Every structure is written in C-alpha cells, then in structure tokens.
Amino acid sequence: MEVAGEFILMAATLIRIKVRMLLPRDLEEEEEPEEDPRAELVRQILEYKRFKEVAESLTEMETRQRRLYPRSYFDWEKKTGEEDVTSEEEILKDVTLFDLLTAFKTVLYNMPKLTPHEVGTIGVSVEDQIEFLMSRLQEKQRIGFGDLMDQLKERVIVVVTFMALLELIRTHRIRVQQASVYGEIWISRT
C-alpha cells in the first residue's frame, strides 16, 4: 500500500509539472519569476540518489563486518558446585601490542642484572691435550675419533682436545684417515 501510494504521488507530481509547462502563462505572472517546477523534482531525485549511495555504502560495510571475527572475552559459565577461588577476576580488554611491549620492556628493565657466564681459567691446555693424544697413540697404533671424544666429559676439554688434534695434524705428527664418506675417522702416528 505504501509503495503504491509513493508511486501515485510521483505520477501526480510529474503530471502537475507537465501541466505547468504546457499551460500558457499570464502576463502578470511573467513579471514575477516563477520557480521551475522541475527543480523540486530534481532536488528530490538528487536526495534519493544520496540516500541510495549511503544505503549501498552501509550495506558494503555490513558485508565487511560480517567477515570479521574480533577476539573478545567470553564469560564462561561456571559449573555448579565449583567455587570461585579468587574473590575478583581481572579481565584485560582493549590491550594493544604496544601496551604489551611496554610492559615487557618494563619487566626486562626491572630484572636484576646477572652475569650469565663467568670466565675462569681452564684446567687444561692445548699442550696437555697434545701429550694426552700422543700417549694414547703410544698405547694403540690407531684410535677412532669417536672413541677418543667419548672419553672426554666436559665441553671445554673436548674443544681443547680438538684444537690439539688440529695442531698435531699441522705439524705432521699424526695422520687422520677415513675409509669411506661418513665413515669412522682414524687417527694414527706418522
């Protein structure tokens, strides 16, 4: 009924404009400038166009919003018989990444300054490990690299022993051989 009423109103407005355009004007009326009857219709059409554009943009925004699923806090229902341990719960809302980074920076700044590693003297030297390797090679004709390193328990000693091994290879006091790719590495005296 409402749409039909709007249609009849528009038809009546168009007929009124057409009649005004076709009827001859009196000379008395010509002295006073009369407003063009089409101007009202144009104004209504432009207003209708603006409303239609706004409606389309709102529809587009609604469609975009339907695709978004924002994170939020959900109040989970507590099971019956379950007592609240804390008297009040704090709920964090609207926390940005920058707020978290600022809090993290504050925590790091307030932490006690500890030295993670103290440098001390090493209980073993490259010369000691050269003597160790040469004594091992006097006992056996050749030694497997893996067997040799398995005997060492501390990381520092493993590193120093490896440096001693490289020094012995450089001075041609020992020979290092391998039978196949990824095979056992054998150390022997030259």
Q: What is the pLDDT of residue 55?
A: 92
Residues 172 and 190 sit within 8 Å (Cβ to Cβ): yes
Task: Please give the model's pTM, rounded to 2 decimal places.
Answer: 0.39
User: Could you tell me which of 39, 43, 41 has the C-alpha nearest to residue 12?
Assistant: 41
The pLDDT of residue 87? 47
Residues 177, 186 contacting (CB under 8 angstroms): yes
CA–CA dist 184, 144 (Å, integer): 7
| Location of structure tokens 């497997």 | 144
Where do we find the tokens 């103290």? 118
Higher pLDDT, 1 or 71: 1
pLDDT tens digits, residue range 73-106? 555 544 445 555 454 555 545 556 666 667 767 7
Rg over CA atoms, the chain: 47
129-182 pLDDT, tens digit each: 999 999 999 988 888 888 888 888 888 888 898 889 899 988 999 888 888 777
Domains of the chain: 2-23+36-65 (no CATH), 126-189 (1.10.10.580)
CA 190 – CA 172 distance, rounded (Å): 7
